[in-house]
Chains A and B, each alone.
Chain A
Amino acid sequence: SQQGEEDPQALSIQEGENATMNCSYKTSINNLQWYRQNSGRGLVHLILIRSNEREKHSGRLRVTLDTSKKSSSLLITASRAADTASYFCATDSSNTGKLIFGQGTTLQVKP
């Protein structure tokens, strides 16, 4: 299977704490993206990191990419209850929009 794997599958933290999610993938990539999915909603793009980048920031989000280990991590700092959602990594190997998604990490942030 080309599906990526995310770790952990579920994460529960208190508001204000940091949340770290990891993603591993199997093939070489052009870029890796992270998406958020609130319950019953569509996916929302959070951040994209290209294969020649190692780290990227966007607001409270920090993404790292290690192509030698075929892995990425998403760090959400100072989490809020509104961050409660499922987070998916997706890899793009072909620049055609064909994304290979991981299984997702379900994050619960308790107020």
Chain B
Amino acid sequence: DTAVSQTPKYLVTQMGNDKSIKCEQNLGHDTMYWYKQDSKKFLKIMFSYNNKELIINETVPNRFSPKSPDKAHLNLHINSLELGDSAVYFCASSHIWTEDGEKLFFGSGTQLSVL
């Protein structure tokens, strides 16, 4: 059973389109994240939700909108895609108020290519 699953694994789309990436975790964690990994492998946090509430919102264009319908799901919607949005997007989860709660569990990533 996959602990943190995200779909799709690959997403190829044209500039200007709107797309969504879905993420689900079955670990019972209360916090979920979106991280972006660029072509140089730098990983940077974008958003974090704790029990459906936004707790981290880094300097990300407002074309990116996360949505958390419940604490097991955190989706990422991107409007008006740009070439610079091409990257690998990782969903992650943790249970931050528990022992070892700082440890993150990552999904396998969504490779987004904007043409």
Please give the residue numbers on chain A whose beta carbons come within 8 Å of chain B beta carbons, in ascending order.
Answer: 3, 30-31, 33, 35, 40-45, 48, 86, 88, 90, 92, 95-99, 101, 103-104
Contact = CB atoms under 8 A, between A and B. Distances in A.
A104 B38 CA distance: 12
Interface of B: 4, 31, 33, 40-45, 48, 55-56, 90, 92, 94, 96, 100, 102-109
Contacts of A40: 109
A42 B55 contact: no
B23 to A, nearest CB: 11
A97 B43 CA distance: 13
B93 to A, nearest CB: 9
B102 A41 contact: no
Given A42-B90, A103-B41, A96 B106 contact: no
Contacts of B106: 35, 42-44
